Structure 1
């Protein structure tokens, strides 16, 4: 009797996957055949696609491997473990999501969906470098994973690496040219490196495609304001309000032009939006700042102050600012930058004299100084560059310190390291330079806390302190809502303390580095423009040029709140405005102390 052949026993999907995993390192072709069988039976098995990608790469079939990785991403919506992690991320339960994702990646280190989710988690807690590294790994494994590449562009943008972000966005848009979020981010990044013409074109295209998207119209308005197209900017802001009448940021954007006077209908619309239960906290503080400006324009000082005060109160509640931290930082800098410390490092750093740093308080006239200098044929204006704080804080973090860490880290730096940092600054800012002019401006006001850092890494750079009457300057800040940063400016006492610390540090550097910093007093510049400009140019080592007195004719792009003001001849508008509000400014005057009493210095 002939023996009958028995059929091979059926195995489960789990067993088949286990066989493929064991077989893959030594025999990827056999593993791939097994994985193809699994996918034929159960195509939603993401791990089968992921293992198939590994097998295909081992067999030299790279493009097919990339396609398999993308299919694994698509099928991950059926993966219960990743669904749990995604749900936790959606609910911001990061402590739940993190162990799930790390456990997954220990078992399956090439799971690009899990890598992307862990990168998102890292970004949320501020670990941008970790997030970037994870996302680079994801797009290395799956170059066509557009969502991960778009996330990478966002993380690069948040690190102020705008050119790198654009490079990634170009790759995303090459595959998905109609992706509006990537086009929007690219336009924003272009605006940060001076690519204004292309940014305007992108926003024009986006607002045509999405005419009811209020924030796109608002972003369009911002870039039009920057390039000096004020009427077009106003039209864009009004288009945003037509789409979303209660959007507080747009009302503030109109107010922030400084030249728009609101109508009675505008005030009624803002008040109605403020009274609406649907208004968000962000809408509310923007509306209060805008209404403060509207009341101010009609001389209603007490209602104006009430709106400014409430806008500041709401904004301050969102921020974590401690005046004692700033005073402690200034104390640490003064203790570090003593004559012996500076003398031991004389002549070190990078020798370039290209940068002109304009620093000091916001709203102190720095944009006017920048516009004057950028009208000189040997000076290029850029914008408020984030590079110096980013570099200093990185050095502090790398040495294990907190926000003050750079003050200690710089003490241990060799002359070679100081020169490297100067070269790094010049390299990073090169993307901002559009002309062959030998000198360029970095006018980030907050660089005053990094003055010692700047001096050591770029000892030949020009440093200008833009100084304005303390009451005028501080109240101007109180009236201003800043798009980001300036957490000190939403409380009168905090503001006075911040100004006093700034003056205290500048006095210290005047003592230990006499003549290093050239001070421009705003009121003196207004009273004697030619005399002050000549003194400024002499300090930089430049010949006088009459174009500097015709700065308002310069059509360069200006990104700050003073953009429209510096497009007019020099004037006294805005000076002494605080006097209308004097009755409510006691906390500011008390915090300023002797600084207010001894003005002008």
Structure 2
């Protein structure tokens, strides 16, 4: 864009915005790059470039663009919100807190940035500070169910906590569906902490039913897509396992609540490993190598080399920009959907390793049902029969791809890991091609934020108390148990 005039810049910006709104993020990013080169003081272009960089899973690039936008227009809430989001994604929670602090100063009566502050503090393990913010917000918004959920989940509730009768009284009042959903999860968690197990499912069933009404699962579609992905990748001839190419990916996959965060923290204690948590780019990029038709996916053997190369390049950029440790030789990504496309990712990145975490399906199902997931994600989580179908999809993928992946894939059972960490942890580390390091035996000492639902548990030493929790709710879990046994034709033995 040589010496453009104002009209040309305006036209280029309109084109970039149109591309962005159409989901053409790569083209939009290049267009915004040209615009900010020609018009470096155009804050809107820096802002949109940052938003697009986030869509491309490039959070550090997004932080740079949004920082420039914030310098040019320091009092625009939308810019500060996006900047804080990018900083969290780039594992810079400390800077995100500063950005959110500016947003609070700009909008002192707006509770939203204060809620985000509390969430970031929880990610950092600064639970008392988060509790202080949430407590102040509750005094002003005593009917906000989200605040009770944030208050109860990272800590063990005690019987004398004054917030408990407050929540119970609120449950009997008229509430918005969303507040009742959040309050239901909070009360179920609290009843479990207090040992009042007969009351847990009263609240869980109500909360999940409301959330299911908002976004019902489409398990027929999920199962059909998984079958297509298996057919396209199973038995594919993969390139030989290659030497690490920094950043070399270690994909950790499993069902939600199966122990993947614990496994990532184990790897994160290794001095050569950075943690990216859940990038979510791998599934989308790898899926594209199999064509655009979900009903007739092309075999992986027909994937074009240039497309596989592009997947590897974009994935490594995302890993580098999201890693908790800049310049790490290896970076973990524990995105849940990875199990669907492991062979395609291995074809694109021959140095990739895959760690599959398995756990008693009944404990997985109970933990999924007890937890609130972000809107629009894990839709199966609100229905016990749907959870059974989703777990079976996961298990079918692992069984289908085991021989294809060979030594690239390491499997570990959560129960074995917590029963015998001194044996299982070294097996994981060396199996992923890393030299042994004693620090890996102490995942509770891992530095950095935790953005998953396990943000409280993983800061404690490896423990066994969550094994077999489903037994307290065997009657309530029957819809899951019966569906799972019917699908697998294998009855549970205990």
Provide the TM-score with structure 1 as the length reference. 0.73
Contact map agreement 2:46 2:69 (CA 8 A) in 1: yes
> What do the CA deviations read for 1:269-295 (whole angstroms, capped 9, x no partner)?
334544444x33222211111111112
- Tell me the CA shift for residue 192 of structure 1: 0.4
Contact map agreement 2:245 2:351 (CA 8 A) in 1: yes
- Tell me the CA shift for residue 215 of structure 1: 1.8
Residue 281 of structure 2 corresponds to which residue in structure 1? Answer: 387
- Tell me the CA shift for residue 364 of structure 1: 0.4
Q: 1:572 to 1:129 in 2, by over 3 A?
A: same
Residue 418 of structure 1 corresponds to which residue in structure 2? Answer: 308
* Structure whose residues are more often helix by fraction: 1
Secondary structure at 1:575's aligned position in 2? coil
Residue 582 of structure 1 corresponds to which residue in structure 2? Answer: 474
Residue 306 of structure 1 corresponds to which residue in structure 2? Answer: 202
> What do the CA deviations read for 1:198-254 (whole angstroms, capped 9, x no partner)?
112222333344443222111111111112212112222223323422222222122
Contact map agreement 1:348 1:415 (CA 8 A) in 2: no
The answer to whether residue 318 in structure 2 is matched with residue 428 in structure 1 is yes
Which whole-Å CA distance do the structure 1 matches of 2:262 and 2:29 have between them? 41
Residues 141-150 or 519-528, more deviating: 141-150
Which whole-Å CA distance do the structure 2 matches of 1:489 and 1:365 have between them? 17
Which whole-Å CA distance do the structure 2 matches of 1:69 and 1:551 have between them? 51
Residues 136-145 or 247-256, more deviating: 136-145
Q: 1:559 to 1:261 in 2, by over 3 A?
A: farther
Which whole-Å CA distance do the structure 2 matches of 1:171 and 1:504 have between them? 47
- Tell me the CA shift for residue 362 of structure 1: 0.7
> What do the CA deviations read for 1:81-140 (whole angstroms, capped 9, x no partner)?
xxxxxxxxxxxxxxxxxxxxxxxxxxxxx497x879x849x84xx746499479949967
Secondary structure at 2:442's aligned position in 1? helix
Contact map agreement 1:510 1:516 (CA 8 A) in 2: no
Residue 332 of structure 2 corresponds to which residue in structure 1? Answer: 441
The answer to whether residue 189 in structure 2 is matched with residue 293 in structure 1 is yes
**Alignment gaps of 5+ in structure 1:** 1-56, 71-109
Q: 1:349 to 1:491 in 2, by over 3 A?
A: farther
- Tell me the CA shift for residue 180 of structure 1: 2.6
Secondary structure at 2:474's aligned position in 1? helix
Residue 221 of structure 2 corresponds to which residue in structure 1? Answer: 325
Q: 1:532 to 1:111 in 2, by over 3 A?
A: closer
The answer to whether residue 179 in structure 2 is matched with residue 283 in structure 1 is yes
Residue 369 of structure 1 corresponds to which residue in structure 2? Answer: 263
Which whole-Å CA distance do the structure 2 matches of 1:584 and 1:496 have between them? 14
Residue 554 of structure 1 corresponds to which residue in structure 2? Answer: 446
Which whole-Å CA distance do the structure 1 matches of 2:4 and 2:273 have between them? 54
Q: 1:381 to 1:159 in 2, by over 3 A?
A: closer
Residue 352 of structure 1 corresponds to which residue in structure 2? Answer: 245
Residues 372-381 or 145-154, more deviating: 145-154
The answer to whether residue 87 in structure 2 is matched with residue 165 in structure 1 is no
Residues 259-268 or 586-595, more deviating: 259-268
Contact map agreement 1:360 1:465 (CA 8 A) in 2: yes
Secondary structure at 1:465's aligned position in 2? strand
Which whole-Å CA distance do the structure 2 matches of 1:378 and 1:162 have between them? 21
Q: 1:584 to 1:191 in 2, by over 3 A?
A: same
Of 167, 175, 180, 1:270 maps to 167
Contact map agreement 2:392 2:484 (CA 8 A) in 1: yes
Contact map agreement 2:53 2:61 (CA 8 A) in 1: yes
Which whole-Å CA distance do the structure 2 matches of 1:194 and 1:449 have between them? 26
- Tell me the CA shift for residue 149 of structure 1: 5.4
Of 319, 339, 343, 1:452 maps to 343
Q: 1:175 to 1:435 in 2, by over 3 A?
A: closer
Which whole-Å CA distance do the structure 1 matches of 2:239 and 2:338 have between them? 21
List aligned pairs for 1:465-544, cutoff 5 A: 465-484=356-375, 485-544=377-436
Contact map agreement 2:249 2:319 (CA 8 A) in 1: no
Q: 1:348 to 1:356 in 2, by over 3 A?
A: closer
Contact map agreement 1:463 1:518 (CA 8 A) in 2: yes
Which whole-Å CA distance do the structure 2 matches of 1:377 and 1:536 have between them? 15
Contact map agreement 2:188 2:201 (CA 8 A) in 1: yes
Which whole-Å CA distance do the structure 2 matches of 1:555 and 1:501 have between them? 34
Residue 82 of structure 2 corresponds to which residue in structure 1? Answer: 185
Q: 1:152 to 1:270 in 2, by over 3 A?
A: farther
Contact map agreement 2:264 2:332 (CA 8 A) in 1: yes
Which whole-Å CA distance do the structure 2 matches of 1:409 and 1:133 have between them? 31
Contact map agreement 2:361 2:391 (CA 8 A) in 1: yes
Q: How many pairs does the alignment contain?
A: 489
Secondary structure at 1:555's aligned position in 2? coil
**Alignment gaps of 5+ in structure 2:** none
- Tell me the CA shift for residue 333 of structure 1: 2.5
Q: 1:210 to 1:243 in 2, by over 3 A?
A: farther
- Tell me the CA shift for residue 371 of structure 1: 1.1
Contact map agreement 2:320 2:327 (CA 8 A) in 1: no
Provide the TM-score with structure 2 as the length reference. 0.87
Q: Which structure is larger by alpha-carbon Rg, 1 or 2? A: 1
Residue 573 of structure 1 corresponds to which residue in structure 2? Answer: 465
- Tell me the CA shift for residue 170 of structure 1: 2.4
- Tell me the CA shift for residue 171 of structure 1: 3.2
Contact map agreement 2:212 2:382 (CA 8 A) in 1: yes
CA-based RMSD: 3.4
Which whole-Å CA distance do the structure 2 matches of 1:349 and 1:526 have between them? 31
Q: 1:458 to 1:270 in 2, by over 3 A?
A: same
Higher relative contact order (CA 8 A, sep 6+): 2
The answer to whether residue 118 in structure 2 is matched with residue 228 in structure 1 is no
